[in-house]
Amino acid sequence: MDVHVTGSTVRGSTRAPSSKSYTHRALLAAGYSDGATVRSPLVSADTKATARAVSAFGGRVNAGDEIPDDAKTLAIDGFGGRPAVPEDVIDCMNSGTTMRLVTAAAALADGTTVLTGDGSLRSRPQGPLLDALSDLGVRAESTRDNGLAPLVVTGPLAGGEVAIPGDVSSQYVTALLMAGAVTDDGIEIDLTTALKSAPYVDITLELLGEFGIEATPVDDGGDPIDGAAGAAGFVVPGGQTYEPAGGSYAVPGDFSSISYLLAAGAIAGKSGGDGETVRIEGARPSAQGDAAIVEIAERMGAAVDWDRDAGAITVEHSPLSGVAVDVGDTPDLLPTIAVLGAVADGDTRIENCEHVRYKETDRVSAMAEELGKMGAETTEDPDVLTVHGDESDLRGATVDGRADHRIVMALAVAALAAEGTTTIRGAEHVDVSFPDFFETMADLGMDVERDK
């Protein structure tokens, strides 16, 4: 599907969608339990993939019925920490989180599970997780022997000690922590390289705690520390039971999605009093690293106010200036920051971003090339993307969303500040994390038309 966005201003109030990261983890955690209710889930293409995996392992989501897109709660009958061998291949579609979390869950089953996904997912690295599971005594292989899906996993996993790199994907750590809690022996994880995207592991630790699971980051000496940042490893005892307080868990709002709404207000909002701001509700504090977008926007000069108690952010259009931003822990923010940099004065230098090349697409090159079509000037290095705001003059163009929800949404925000109309191809991929993104933006004032 193509969408056509014409330069326009935005104002008004909206609510952030629920967190995709938390929803994935909550669905699988409820699957590991004897049963739990997930409240305020994000229902999207990716999270539906995780729900189907829970069902494939012998759980049941929403009484086995199709999950409606507007579901406010999902009741999950869990598989009690012991996944059954699936009757069919598990198709993770385009969801990397699903594949990594479910690969470790598959290792618990007393038999063989086959996992695959779409063309994009079959190009994303799974090797370090397969190696870790193999070291733990599980048969875990790529059918093409290249570390890429399709994957074949044969359990059961008993637990043990394993080493894994921390700079490829934090989801490997999350997968092992979640599965390790229900093994007989537990799992001790030693990181062979520094952990990137540590806030995503903090999300996991927070959610595990909510489900009654003990998991601890440790330093080089094996002593417990607070938070995943700087951890040398993690310890999760075995024999634990997933059981949230009161039998339910509520998913918080998603700061990755909030970043597009905030950026839209900063570059295309109005200033000047009541009713002229963009107000984003559902922004309560949590372990999400992408909440850093508030501080980043403020450093660039945006007029942002975050009422943490009320969970509301307001933002006005403001002159922006380029800054240096390290996205080692916040890779999903790169597309948003690149757009802010394209309308800012001076250079915006996005550093420590090589791992952002291994998402649904190479997001570093994708943003450089697609913003370039719109008139932005960039310099791309292996680990740095620099956006030269002073040399950029955004204008309407035809751009490719690269089958990547975050690229599509970022380009739509850039189109707000461009002269003329921008056509974004592949816009349907917003279904992955923010299915009603264009409806939300239209309500705020975006001039957007969709091809039928």
Q: In which residue are the tokens 């409240």 written?
A: 39
What pLDDT is stored for residue 272 in this prediction?
56
DSSP 412-450: HHHHHTSBSEEEEETGGGGGGT-TTHHHHHHHHT-EEEE
What pLDDT is stored for residue 214 in this prediction?
98
Residues labelled as active-site residues: 332
Task: Confirm or deny that 332 is annotated as ligand binding.
Answer: yes
Task: Confirm or deny that 144 is annotated as ligand binding.
Answer: no
Task: Confirm or deny that 21 is annotated as ligand binding.
Answer: yes
Q: Please tell me the distance from the alpha carbon of residue 223 to that of residue 245, in angstroms, as a whole number.
A: 28
Same fold, 3-17+253-450 and 20-250: yes
Out of 3.40.630.10, 3.30.565.10, 3.65.10.10, 1.10.287.3510, the CATH code matching 3-17+253-450 is 3.65.10.10
Task: Confirm or deny that 406 is annotated as ligand binding.
Answer: yes
The radius of gyration of the chain from alpha carbons, rounded to an integer in Å, stands at 21
Question: What string of pLDDT tens digits covers the 452 residues of the chain?
Answer: 999 999 999 999 999 899 999 999 999 999 999 999 999 999 999 999 999 999 999 999 999 999 999 999 999 999 999 999 999 999 999 999 999 999 999 999 999 999 999 999 999 999 999 999 999 999 999 999 999 999 999 999 999 999 999 999 999 999 999 999 999 999 999 999 999 899 999 999 999 999 999 999 999 999 999 999 999 999 999 999 999 999 999 999 999 999 999 999 999 987 655 557 999 999 999 999 999 999 999 999 999 999 999 999 999 998 999 999 999 999 999 999 999 999 999 999 999 999 999 898 999 999 999 999 999 999 999 999 999 999 999 999 999 999 999 999 999 999 999 999 999 999 999 998 999 999 999 999 999 999 86
How do the domains of the chain map onto residue ranges?
A: 3-17+253-450, 20-250
Q: Which CATH class is domain 20-250?
A: alpha beta
Q: In which residue are the tokens 């917003």 written?
A: 430
Residue 165, Cα to own-chain centre: how many angstroms?
20
Contacts with 135 (C-beta within 8 Å, 6 or more apart), sequence order: 160, 162, 163
Number of helices (H) and strands (E) in the chain: give both, helices first.
12, 24
Task: Confirm or deny that 124 is annotated as ligand binding.
Answer: yes
Q: Please tell me the distance from the alpha carbon of residue 211 to that of residue 213, in angstroms, as a whole number.
A: 6
What pLDDT is stored for residue 223 in this prediction?
97
Task: Confirm or deny that 326 is annotated as ligand binding.
Answer: no
Outline where 181-319 has alpha helix (H). Answer: 198-210, 255-268, 292-299
Peptide bond into 17 cis (omega under 30): no
What pLDDT is stored for residue 276 in this prediction?
73
